[in-house]
Amino acid sequence: MDMSFTPEETAFRDEIRAFLKAELDPALARKVRLHHDLTKAEMEGWHAKLQSRGWLAGNWPKEFGGAGWTAIQRHIFEEESARAHAPRIVPFGIAMLGPVLQKFGSKEQQDHWLPRILNGDDWWCQGYSEPGAGSDLAGLRCEARRDGDHYVVNGQKTWTTLGQHANMIFCLVRTSTEGKKQEGISFLLIDMETPGVTVRPIVLLDGAAEVNEVWFDNVRVPAANLVGTENEGWTYAKYLLTHERTNIAGVGFATAALDNLKRVARAQIHRGKPLSEDPAFAADMASVEIELMAMSTTNLRMLSAAAQGQAPGIESSMLKIKGTQIRQRLDALTRRAYGGQAMALPQGGNEGPEDADEALAATATWLNNRKLSIYGGSNEIQRSIIAGAMAKG
């Protein structure tokens, strides 16, 4: 057993650190740390910097313009980026659609769409969930009817993250009502500029509007935008979800949140002493830090097993549950550390009163990160996946 990173991996980490130090604007990092909404230009600017270094698509093979990193390298990049408070790479084009097109898309689709993801020509969003199809995704109803060399799309999608910035959306649509509900679903690429597409923001608990409703009213989509085969979309959707679940443990985000919590607890005064010296609070902090130490190793154990060719099974579900529990506990402790100072809410996810900025960020972060145990397959769904695998033995 060898728990250490190889010299190559350590050098890689140093390289990432040096890049972040040189290229990440401290004002931007501060916005990320305080959970303020980033502008589209800020996110695109960071993508462009990474792309010019060849690091935007760590998960893509080199033949498609990616970095072709190993799972361990991706882990190192995610961890360092999170700890430096770099903007998160918007996942929809890079982490989700890209792998699907590479595996199931036509040559024409690959040649057209993949370079546009890397150079920022397209901003993709995801059209999966519907008001009546959340955890039971296969219950979706948004329909696409074939009409000559077009599909005509009618229906609604929801929870479309950052859809307000997007010009393209990849959708699961119903193309058949025959047979099992998983069998009549297709994977369709839709231009958001097409007449009949309407995007409406949904304001969340923390005042931010990062998600949207998307409405389709007789939207005509070229049949060439169908990925793979009609009615086979469920296969591609499941493949995409396995990619969505990389970095699911969120070790870097949790480590950054723990660093921040410790800093806050040292600065806050409680009974005349730093809060970090209060036995009850210190024990709470220690308990979540200890959980993170173990989870971080669970994550590496599973990455290492995957790198040696052992197929990932229920591990990603385990990491989703434990990773989100840890981050939500950290967020809760950080908010509680501020006590009465954390009562206001920044407007629209942006700056609040200047001197109370950090306390307000703690509240907004706690509120926003309630989503962690809901999205990407709720933690209850993950438990059912684990138990389902155990039942089979």
Partner 1 sequence: MDFQLSDDHRMLQDSLRGVLARHSGDGLAPALAELGIPEALLTEAEGGFDGSGAAVALIFEELGRAGAPSTPVAAMIGAAALAQAGHDAAVLAFADAEPGTRHDRGVAMRAEGECLTGRKTMVIGAEGAQGFLVTTADALWRVDRDAEGVEFRPYPLMDDQPGGDLILCDAPATRLGALSGHDGVLARAVLAHAAYGLGVITAAFDLTLDYLRQRKQFGQPLIAFQALAHRMADLAVEVEQARSAVVNLSGHLDAEPALRDRHLQACKVTVGRAARLLAEESVQLHGGIGMTEEYALGGIIRRLIAADTAMGDADYHLERFALAEPAFA
Contacts with partner 1 by CB under 8 A lie at 1-6, 9, 72, 279, 282-283, 285-287, 289-291, 293-298, 300-301, 304-305, 308, 314, 317-318, 321-322, 380, 382-384, 386-388, 390-391, 393
Q: At its nearest, how many Å lie between partner 1 and the CB of residue 26? A: 30
Question: Based on CB atoms, which residue is closest to partner 1, 204 or 300?
Answer: 300
Question: Based on CB atoms, which residue is closest to partner 1, 59 or 73?
Answer: 73
At residue 326, the 3 state secondary structure works out as helix
Catalytic residue among 79, 80, 244, 315: 244
| CA–CA gap between residue 217 and residue 72 (Å, rounded) | 44
CB of 308 closer than 8 Å to CB of 349? no
8 catalytic? Reply is no
Q: At its nearest, how many Å lie between partner 1 and the CB of residue 151? A: 38
Q: At its nearest, how many Å lie between partner 1 and the CB of residue 9? A: 8
Q: Cβ atoms within 10 A of the Cβ of 141, count?
A: 15
Q: What are phi and psi of 229, to 5 degrees?
A: -105, 145
Name beta bridge partners: 153: 144, 219
At residue 115, the 3 state secondary structure works out as helix
Strands (E), 223-281: 226-227, 269-270, 273-274
Q: At its nearest, how many Å lie between partner 1 and the CB of residue 14? A: 17
Q: What is the DSSP letter of 198?
A: E
Question: Based on CB atoms, which residue is closest to partner 1, 53 or 273?
Answer: 273
Question: Based on CB atoms, which residue is closest to partner 1, 41 or 391?
Answer: 391
Angle at 315 between CA 393 and CA 255, to 5 degrees: 155
Residues 6+ positions from 127 with CB-CB distance below 8 Å: 142, 157, 160, 169, 170, 171, 172, 190, 214
Question: Based on CB atoms, which residue is closest to partner 1, 276 or 363?
Answer: 276
Question: Based on CB atoms, which residue is closest to partner 1, 196 or 388?
Answer: 388
**Own/partner pairs, 291-297, CB within 8 angstroms, 24+ separation:** 291/322, 291/325, 291/326, 291/329, 292/251, 292/254, 292/255, 292/258, 292/326, 295/249, 295/251, 295/254, 295/319, 295/322, 295/323, 295/326, 296/249, 296/251, 296/255, 297/3
Q: Which of 225, 208, 92 is nearest to 160 (CA)?
A: 92
Q: What is the DSSP letter of 95?
A: I
Q: At its nearest, how many Å lie between partner 1 and the CB of residue 275? A: 12
| CA–CA gap between residue 96 and residue 103 (Å, rounded) | 12
| CA–CA gap between residue 283 and residue 119 (Å, rounded) | 48
Question: Based on CB atoms, which residue is closest to partner 1, 81 or 382?
Answer: 382
The C-alpha torsion from 211 through 375 and 367 to 286, rounded to 10°, is: -150
Q: Which of 364, 85, 358 is nearest to 208 (CA)?
A: 364
Question: Based on CB atoms, which residue is closest to partner 1, 121 or 277?
Answer: 277
Catalytic residue numbers read 244
